[in-house]
A and B are shown apart, each in its own frame.
Chain A
Amino acid sequence: MSNLSLVRLTAGGLLAFQLAAPAQAKPIAFANGTTIMAEYGAGTMAEAQAFYAPYYWLSLGGGVLHLDSDSIDRSRDIAYLRANYLVHRWNLDDAQANVFAWGGLGTARGNDFSGSKLDREVGFQADYETRRIYASLMSDLHESSAYSHRIDTLQLGFAPYAHDYEDLAAWFVLQGRNYTGQLHRGIEWAALIRLFKGGAWVEAGVTDGGKPQVMAMFNF
């Protein structure tokens, strides 16, 4: 394997964790709403985000991300600014479907390259949701002069009961994730439990590699 391939493989593997739980939630919560999120993936990443949505179709914000490779001695820190845009929403009687797109810029520092690099990000998410089923497909591309990779994520969820506005909502979610550029052999699967009530959202699960994922998010 060439050094360049190794760098790309490592960068992609590290960054793959950036899109764990928060991107599967809707990138925009509601108009005039603020979203804060914290996530921890054992041995791989820690991240904090804050977004404000002036409109239901736009949110602006940023975050900081620390990544550690679980296989080799690599770490990375990224600080970024990002805009999320609701391309279209379908409000159906018993369902809602959305298409989101986003783009952002950031700076990345790591121990596998010197100095800081400009990180460019683009992506989209399409989702469909009723009170009992949930499906989403997401693709996210990160590029810099030191790395380039795309991560595609499919989520399928079902709720054991139909929650109402003031109830605790519970979801079981199966996630499949594919990394381009030979970043991961086959598809990485994860089983997640998602709970939310009011403006608080908690999600926890484990990948088929036995790695736990935990995320908390708050809207207000």
Chain B
Amino acid sequence: MKKFVLLLILIASPALLSATTIEMDVSGLVCAFCAQGIEKTLRGFPATSDVVVSLEKRLVAVATKEGQDIADDELKRALTDAGYTVKAIRREDETIADVRARLKAKP
């Protein structure tokens, strides 16, 4: 039984520990003073661990807590209710720190 449990943990752990960041392309994202509503809304999700907003890239990135996720529908509804239009949602295999570094390394 112990071996079986250990095997399950080993199988599940890569999925739980791999870093995934949810990125959203957002239209109308031009004003930092207004976009703070997006950050406030997304940080209100229990699964959220960090949020990055880039006006230049028109991008909103959300890092979720280990083993947790936020459904696309919930994210889209949250940004729509904040007054913005979501064009695309995707999940990237990188940490939020990587996203932040990538955004700061402007081409």
Interface residues, chain A, with chain B CB atoms under 8 Å away: 25-26, 29-33, 55-57, 86, 89-96, 129-131, 162-167, 169, 196-199, 201, 219
Contacts and interface: CB of A to CB of B under 8 A. Distances in A.
B30 to A, nearest CB: 5
Interface of B: 27-38, 40-41, 53-56, 58, 81-85
Contacts of A129: 30-31
Given A91-B84, A93-B27, A201 B33 contact: yes
A30 B82 contact: yes
B105 to A, nearest CB: 13
A32 B31 contact: no
Contacts of B36: 30, 33, 198-199, 219
B101 to A, nearest CB: 14
A35 to B, nearest CB: 10
A31 B37 CA distance: 7
Contacts of B37: 29-33, 56
Nearest to B31: A129
Contacts of A29: 33-34, 37
Contacts of B83: 30-31, 56-57, 86, 89, 91
Contacts of A196: 32-33
B27 A131 contact: no
Contacts of B81: 31, 55-56
A92 B28 contact: yes
A32 B40 contact: yes
B78 to A, nearest CB: 9
A183 to B, nearest CB: 31
Contacts of B31: 96, 129, 131, 169
A165 B82 contact: no
A164 B27 contact: no
A87 to B, nearest CB: 13
Contacts of A131: 30-31, 55-56
Given A33-B37, A56-B82, A219-B36, 15 more contacts: A29-B33, A30-B38, A30-B82, A30-B83, A31-B83, A56-B83, A57-B83, A129-B30, A129-B31, A131-B30, A162-B55, A165-B32, A169-B32, A199-B33, A201-B33
B102 to A, nearest CB: 13
